[in-house]
Amino acid sequence: MKMFSRNVKFWGDEKQKIIADSSILIAGVGGLGCTVAEVLTRAGIGKLVLIDKDAIEISNLNRQILFDQEDIGKSKVQTAKQKLQMINPKLEIEIFQQDISDLKDLHLPHLDGIADCLDNFASRFELEKMVSENQFLVHGGVQNDFGQITTIIPNKTQSLKEIYPGIHIPVSVPIVPQIVITIGSMMAQEIINNLFSKSQLINKMLIVEFSDFSMFKVKIEK
């Protein structure tokens, strides 16, 4: 497709086809999820599955880049689907306006990977149970001007529960748009890395401190 010609100049036809043949589930269509979804759409992903039970609120608009004032009160997943297909009408999108806990029996064998863009660890731990051995999960999180990303693969890496034992973070935390969009874009890149079998964050966590532009990887022992 001509739309992706600049992508092809960078990574070539073969890798563009890999992206086009891939399916990714995005859990949480908030700040991170909106960014991941838009970047993957513009990269040429073939299919997205979007999960989020919430409606759009005005407080979302500082960081959730797919939404605007006219969308307040509308379903996040339905609105995101509409906006993303305006970018690429050929993109296949399946939506679930439900909580992750209501989808624990959902079978996902057709998916290549999962993006954890959720805002609480109870839901993250439920999501992690849905990942099979031939899939990857890219986890991202933000708070204040700080963010982190890692790739989880069953039986190859520590689980989120092992990385974050006993953690509790309130749902409503200070968040600025620049860190959300940066971490979301990096999550999308790590998803693409995994699709190309070149993950940079298996058994590693990328930490980003936006205030002083510091960035470093922390090794995670299996």
pLDDT 10s digits, 101-146: 887 667 676 899 999 999 888 899 999 988 988 999 999 999 888 9
pLDDT 10s digits, 72-92: 999 999 999 999 999 999 999
At 151, list the tokens.
Answer: 């790739």
- Output the domain CATH number for residue 94: 3.40.50.720
Task: Give the domain range for residue 18.
Answer: 2-219
CA distance 163 to 165: 6
When divided into structural domains, the chain yields a total of 1
Pairing of strands 136-143, 146-152: antiparallel
User: pLDDT averaged over the chain?
Assistant: 93
> What DSSP string runs through 111-152?
-SEEEE--S-HHHHHHHHTT--TT-EEEEEEEEBTEEEEEEE
Q: pTM of the entire structure?
A: 0.95
